[in-house]
Copies of this chain bind each other. A is one copy, B any other.
């Protein structure tokens, strides 16, 4: 990566103005540059004005804003919203290597976990050890969906594309011939993270089916 080399050389030339943390800052900046590539990972759904496909960075930002606004719908009493925000911000970084896997793509989902673990090893492995451990922990928590925070983050991760698909007359659903039952099956996990948001989501799904955005069973 030429641009990394240039940045690093530049840092080293004036290394006397930086303290012993230079090696640490280097790793952090390399990671910040590397994750820029997530802006080029395209998702199946369109942005809401239908002009183009959404990318994974846009999806992640949208989830983070939703976390700020909708955490009150998580049923847990002691709920760490900050951890939700962190999880959703980083949950798709593995797609830089593993690509985005459409939730209704059966074959693609078979080796998804394996591809993503390899990606996490390379990408989180760029970070200083403590931050590497933190990112791994956040990503594993998100994937395992055992804590209230991870369940809520997972709920947002399903609700946001549902809003995009509904707002674009079901574009991605139509292109892939997705059925109402599949959408219910893949999205009912919203309920464990945020029951009220699942009420809302199932209402949206029914309306989507009524309007012909989803195929009949």
Which of A10, A66, A204 has the most chain B CB atoms inside 10 A of its CB? A10
B200 touches A25 (CB 8 A): yes
Given contacts A40-B51, A58-B57, A58-B58, contact A65 B35 (CB under 8 A): yes
CB closest residue in chain B, given A168? B3
B90 touches A65 (CB 8 A): yes
- A111: CB under 8 A from chain B? no
A40 touches B36 (CB 8 A): no
B89 touches A64 (CB 8 A): yes
Contacts of A62 in B (CB 8 A): 32, 35-36, 57
Interface of A is mostly: helix
Which of A49, A68, A69, A164 has the most chain B CB atoms inside 10 A of its CB? A69
Residues of chain A touching chain B, judged by Cβ–Cβ distance below 8 Å, are 3, 6-7, 10-11, 13-14, 17-19, 21, 25, 28-29, 31-33, 35-37, 39-40, 47-49, 51, 54-55, 57-58, 60-62, 64-66, 68-70, 73, 82, 85-86, 89-90, 127, 131, 160, 163-164, 166-167, 196, 199-200, 203-204, 206-207
A sample of 27 cross-chain residue pairs with beta-carbon separation below 8 angstroms, ordered by A number, consists of A3-B166, A3-B167, A6-B166, A7-B163, A10-B207, A14-B206, A18-B199, A19-B196, A29-B163, A29-B200, A32-B69, A32-B70, A33-B48, A37-B48, A55-B58, A57-B57, A57-B58, A57-B62, A60-B61, A61-B89, A64-B64, A64-B85, A68-B86, A68-B90, A69-B127, A85-B86, A85-B89
